[in-house]
Amino acid sequence: MTSNSNLSNMRRLVEQLKLEASVERIKVSQAAAELQQYCLQNATKDALLVGVPTGSNPFREPRSCAVV
């Protein structure tokens, strides 16, 4: 029975939890607002979101794409 290693593991766990508990946090409302702002600010550059002008997408088909 490795009681000594159990003890040192538990000590490490307690120290780790103390560290995690001490992290400075912000409100979800603020964090969410900033995530949203980043999305909206970069939306026009996001080719998978808004598409790119025909002809400039390197992965386009050789012929034009039919929009369904």
5 lies in the binding site for another protein (CB under 8 A):
no
62 lies in the binding site for another protein (CB under 8 A):
no
DSSP 54-68: TTT-TT--SSPPPP-
45 lies in the binding site for another protein (CB under 8 A):
yes
Q: CB 22 → another protein: shortest distance, Å?
A: 9
18 lies in the binding site for another protein (CB under 8 A):
yes
Q: Are 43 and 50 in contact (CB under 8 A)?
A: yes
53 lies in the binding site for another protein (CB under 8 A):
yes
Which residues have C-beta within 8 Å of that of residue 65, sequence separation ≥ 6?
Answer: 54
